[in-house]
Each structure stands twice: as structure tokens, then as C-alpha cells.
Amino acid sequence: MGQCYKPELTRRTLLKSAAVLPATILFARDISRSDHEAKRKPHILYLMTDQHRADCLGCAGNKVIRTPYLDSIAEQGVIFSSAYSSTPSCTPARSAILTGLSPWHHGMLGYGRIADEYPFELPQALRNTGYYLFGIGKMHWYPQKKLRGYHGTLVDESGRAETPGFVSDYRLWFKQQAPDLDPDATGIGWNDYRAKPYALAEQLHPTRWTADRAVDFIEEYDRPEPFLLKVSFARPHSPYDPPQRFMDMYNEDDMPAPCVGDWAARYAPHEDPPNPSLWHGDLGIQQAKKSRQGYYASITFIDEQIGRILAALRKQGMYDNTLIIFFSDHGDMLADHHLWRKTYPYEGSAKIPMLLRWPKDMGMDRQRGKTLPQPVELRDVLPTLLDAAAAPIPNHLDGRSMLELVRGNTRRWRPFIDLEHSMCYSEDHWSALTNGKFKYIYYAYDGREQLFNLTNDPREPSPSKGLGELHDLAGESSCRDVLLQWRQHLIEHLSERGKDFVSDGKLAIRKNRLLYSPNYPGKTAGGGFS
């Protein structure tokens, strides 16, 4: 392993190497606003993980996982305890972030290709307010190197190559660092349930590469305008492949057992031997715990790297004037209810971590360290960042600034958030609503309904408390009025979509898959399942 590993290139060498870094990293100045005006705005550090469950943070009440640096962001800011990804798979989640819109309005109802261009997008909107934007890590756009308003990007797209001739910046760097090694030497796949320690030197791992590039950016930044730095980690999405020292931090037997609802038996069967990329199947508690060991260790690895990024901000004197937002695109079922991966309405898949820490000069110090229960969603990221930049928030956005909740303006906040996903792994496609206390789910293929009390539902007796949804209340006579109320809310929400969704005042049965709504820009593109 070690004989082919070369020392990391210096920042100066990297900047000279067009094979490793594209010319877009050269920080060409093209902002017309005055330096004085720009300095009034905070820097923005936009931290993102991929497939990160809401309950996998220490600050979320998980007593097993170790996330001290993410916890510090919550301590100095707020944690949103009812944060969701409306369409919980990678690309539609990123469309919500880009556009500030709901699934029907940005057009992606499931996993496909993000549109080439939307009329109003986050990067260009922030650039227009005087920010210098740079993105590092997983973008998952199409085309893959499209800047969308960023001044530059350094992309880690794993082995994905959707654009002809595309090779990610991480893979180019890896080839230069270790020309005789295989970046996939660990031997587990992108949707694998198995966990193994990373087979190569830690410095070669994409999680480390992403943080190294972010630290480089912060340490070298000397422009007058404020920056928005997007740092998008490709983990803890499988492969669950942290370095050995992080695996060693966790005892497999200490991992929380999966939550399995009294309604979930339909998802227990699986092939024998099981497909490493299966989406459902009871593989036993011990396998679930082994997978969770690798998953938890991957998150702690990311947390340590975020600590390095925060330290770089402090070293450069930028920390106090930086707004920090952290979230994920969706969660990971990790065998809850015998399900794996994502695209489901259940908490493990659809509920996400969401942290927000604001600069000192914004005040609101009495709010720091609080947990805010109002339902928020990825569509709220764009208006929040516009608010932080003191920029106008367009009326067409479905999202709202989460800074309003920090300010205490809660009376007119949305009462619930909508969730949905088109057919993906199975023939099921569903729509749901939740306020963080109750959740109503409608499966449109056959008309099944589920209702969960997220507050009082019995929880798995584990140190992390689990995510419940163990008992489906839809068939209980004592809950009929509650069920009818939530069903009516969904009818009203879907009514703008026409008779395919609501017919004669009732939720319609839909047998066909609808991946894109009529609001999807341009020609419909194909897209595989991830």
C-alpha cells in the first residue's frame, strides 16, 4: 500500500497543475460591488453531507455517536429538530437546494437528472449579491462540471461519469498521488450495505481530500468580497469505508438495533445470498449493527474534518463573521423496518440534520443552543442564505428563511411540510405530510395509508432512542378523525396537480410512474436509480 503513495502536493504546486485543478480555482476578480459594501456581509460556510440520518449527531440526542465539532455548531447556533428532505434521494434534493422550490414546482418527483438550468438558482443569486462562490466535493449536477454561478468547483463524483470524458477532480488528484493504486480498492459498492475499513492511506480518502481542499481555500483566501464556500462530503453515503482508526472508536455491539414497525414484515424477505445493493431485507440485527458501525465511523471521520475547517476559519480570523449552515440531502434507513438506502417516507430516510450558526454581529445570542421544532426543508436553504446576505427573497420561492425562526417569528410558519417520491426501487410511489409530530403517508399505487404519532410512538430501547414509527395508527378507530384530517390536508396540497392526483375530491390511484412534473425545465432527461 505505502510504496506507491506520494506526499501530498503543496497548494502552490496544485495551483500550477491544470491536470489536477481546473483554471476556475484561480480566483479571478469580477465583482463590481465596492469593497466597503462587500465587507458588511458575512462569509458563508455551507457544509453538506450525503445520506446522513437526522439522529446521527450527538446534539440530536444520540449518546453513541461522536460528533463534537458538529455539536459545537449547534451549541453556538440552533438545531432544527423537524428538518426534512421532501424528495429523499440525491438529485431531487439538490434541485430543492438550488431552486428554493417544492418538488412539483422544481419538477423532480424522484431520482433523475437535475435540469440543465432553472430560471433562479442559489449560486448565481448569491453571486449577484457580491459573493465569491467556490464549491468542493459532490455536486451531482448535470453536466457534471457546470458551474451554475460558482466561480469554481473541485468535484468529487466517485466513479460516476455522466458527461462524456468526465473524470472528477478527486480522481485526477488520486491518479497523480498514487498512480499504481486503485481508488476503489476497499471493494464495496456505492449502494452496499456492508462496511469495511478503508484499504488505502487515510490521506487518499475522498473525505480527507474534500476537507484538505476546503482548508486550502480558506487559508489562501485574500479577496475583498465575502465568500460562500460549499463543502459537500460524499459520505456517509455508502460505501461505509472509514479509516481503521475510526472503526476502532465504535464497538459493533454498542450500535443501536434497527427500529422495526409492526407493519414492516412485507420488507423482510430478500435473496439468498443477499445482493450487496439490496433495498429491503432482514439481514439480522448483527449485520445491521456492523453496517451502523461503519456508518457512524464515517460520520465521525467527517466531523473531524469539519473541525479542521472550523480551525482554519479561526486561524484566519474569519470565524466570528461566518454564517455556518450544515445539512444533508436525505437519510439512510440502515435496516430500520427492514429497509436500506433511501427514497422512503420514513424518518430514517426523509428526516435530516439541519444546523445553523450565525455571526456574532447578528445578535440573537439568547437563541444560541436552542432546538427549534418548526418543520423546515431543503427548499429553505436558498432563502436563508439570501436573508443572511441582506438580499431580496423572491416571492416565487416555496422556501422561507430559517433565520426568521431564529428571530422568533414563528406565528406564520408553515404548519407542515410535504414529502414525496416517485417509483424507484419498487412499484410504490407515495406522498406524505408531517409536522414533526404526526406523519401521514399515502401510497398512490394501491391506495394504502399510514399514520404515525412521532411524539408518542414507542421507541427502540437504545442509547440513540431510535426514530420510532413502530405502530401504524391508520387502521385504529380512535385515530379516524386524525387520519381524515391529514388525508384532507394532502388532498388540498395535491389539488393543483389535476385529476391524476385528486379525482372527485379524493386521492387518486396512480399505476404509472411520473418522474418529472410539467414544471421541469426543458426536455425531460433520463436518469438511473442511485
CA dihedral angle for residue 198, residue 203, residue 205, residue 209, rounded to 10 degrees: 170
pLDDT-derived band at 466 (thresholds 50, 70, 90) equals low
Task: Tell me what pLDDT residue 523 has.
Answer: 54
170 vs 154: CA distance, rounded Å:
8
List, for residues 80-90, the tens digit of each pLDDT value.
Answer: 999 999 999 99
Please check the confidence at residue 8 and state whether its pLDDT lies above 50. no
Query: Using N-to-C axis directions, what is the helix angle for 381-388 and 90-99, rounded to 10°?
Result: 30
Residue 336 grid cell: 430500520
Length, in residues, of the chain:
530
Domains in the chain and their CATH numbers? 2-413 (3.40.720.10)
Residue 189 grid cell: 459498492
pLDDT-derived band at 27 (thresholds 50, 70, 90) equals very low
pLDDT-derived band at 503 (thresholds 50, 70, 90) equals very high
Task: Tell me what pLDDT residue 143 has.
Answer: 83
Q: Active-site residues: which are they?
A: 90, 140
Please check the confidence at residue 411 and state whether its pLDDT lies above 60. yes
pLDDT-derived band at 522 (thresholds 50, 70, 90) equals confident
Task: Report the half-sphere exposure of 234 (CA within 13 A, side-chain side).
Answer: 27
Average of pLDDT values for 26-55?
A: 69
Q: Report the b/e string of 310-339 with b at 16+ CB within 10 A.
A: bebbeeeebbebbbbbbbbbbbbbbbbbbb
**Gyration radius of the chain over CA positions:** 22
* Phi, psi (deg, nearest 5) at residue 187: 85, 20
| pTM (2 d.p.) | 0.91
Please check the confidence at residue 469 and state whether its pLDDT lies above 80. yes
